[in-house]
Amino acid sequence: MTRLKIERQPLVTSIERRVFLGRTLSVGALALLSGCDISDQDEVQSLLKFMSRWNDRAQAFLFNRQRLAPTYPESAVLPGARYNAYFPAEEAPKLDAADYRLELSGLIGDKRPWTVDQIHALAQESQITRHVCVEGWSYIGKWSGPRFSEFLQRIGADLTAKYVGFQCADGYYGSIDMPTALHPQTIMAVKLADEILPQQFGFPFKVRIPTKLGFKNPKWVTTIWVTNREPSGFWEDRGYNWFSGL
């Protein structure tokens, strides 16, 4: 698949970007690097990867399960959500509601696949929150759908497991920590602006996680799994920090 041929982005670049965005840590690492020309050496990369993993653990420790991401009034929603993916909107997967099946694997009691109708039948909630992309833009949108925690309970997921993983129809993949999966604002968004989620925004659903950066919100999800194994992700494997909380 040509889409997946993306140049590896060194971790240094993403850390510089994080500092640019005024985010935590890595200032020391940057000071260490500035003025010397060693930033693409393997040792520096592995030191920074180690620090990023350490940063993940610190962020996970500090994450408050009850703290809510800011919400906004209807009037704050501007028309038109902003599309993003690692390919143009015309190439977005077109999943057909009739043959779509959400596959389940890993530490889950009932692994029978789910249809779109079954997802729609769960009680839905709406949220007006800000989607923040690491590239430096954001928008306020209204998303609706079942709480992910409700879904995880229904399928008999092991809620004491560490991670939930996602595979998407476009080859994208990702994972989140269990506290974030169970957070009250983490939903399976089946609607955007009160309409069925448009195809390019992730039909049949996007896991909407307002406590995380945009790239941690997978669209066109086809498989969900629950695991204790080392998590990964499409952008994380290209250098972005795994936890990436807001």
Ligand X SMILES: Nc1nc2c(c(=O)[nH]1)N[C@H]1C(S)=C(S)[C@@H](COP(=O)(O)O)O[C@H]1N2
- 85 or 157: CB nearest Mo ion: 85
Contacting range for Mo ion; rule: CB under 5 A; set: 48-56, 126-134, 181-189, 198-206: 126-134
83 sits near ligand X (criterion: CB under 6 A) = yes
- C-alpha–C-alpha distance, residues 190 and 194, integer Å: 9
Binding test (CB under 6 A) with ligand X, winner from 9, 45, 59, 84: 84
Q: Is the dihedral of CA 201, 92, 188, 217 positive or negative?
A: negative
Query: Which residue in the block uniquely carries the two structure tokens 């889409």?
Result: 3
168 sits near ligand X (criterion: CB under 6 A) = yes
208 sits near ligand X (criterion: CB under 6 A) = no
Binding test (CB under 5 A) with Mo ion, winner from 25, 77, 133, 193: 133
214 sits near Mo ion (criterion: CB under 5 A) = yes
201 sits near ligand X (criterion: CB under 6 A) = yes
- C-alpha–C-alpha distance, residues 231 and 236, integer Å: 9
Binding test (CB under 5 A) with Mo ion, winner from 215, 234, 240, 243: 215
Give me 22's structure tokens: 């005024």
Binding test (CB under 6 A) with ligand X, winner from 3, 82, 94, 112: 82
Q: Which of 219, 97, 96 is nearest to 167 (CA)?
A: 219
Q: What is the side-by-side order of every strand in the sheet holding 195-196?
A: 124-133, 137-146, 191-192, 195-196
214 sits near ligand X (criterion: CB under 6 A) = yes
Helix axes 42-62, 11-20, angle to 10 degrees: 50
Q: Which residues contribute to the site for Mo ion (CB under 5 A)?
A: 133, 214-215
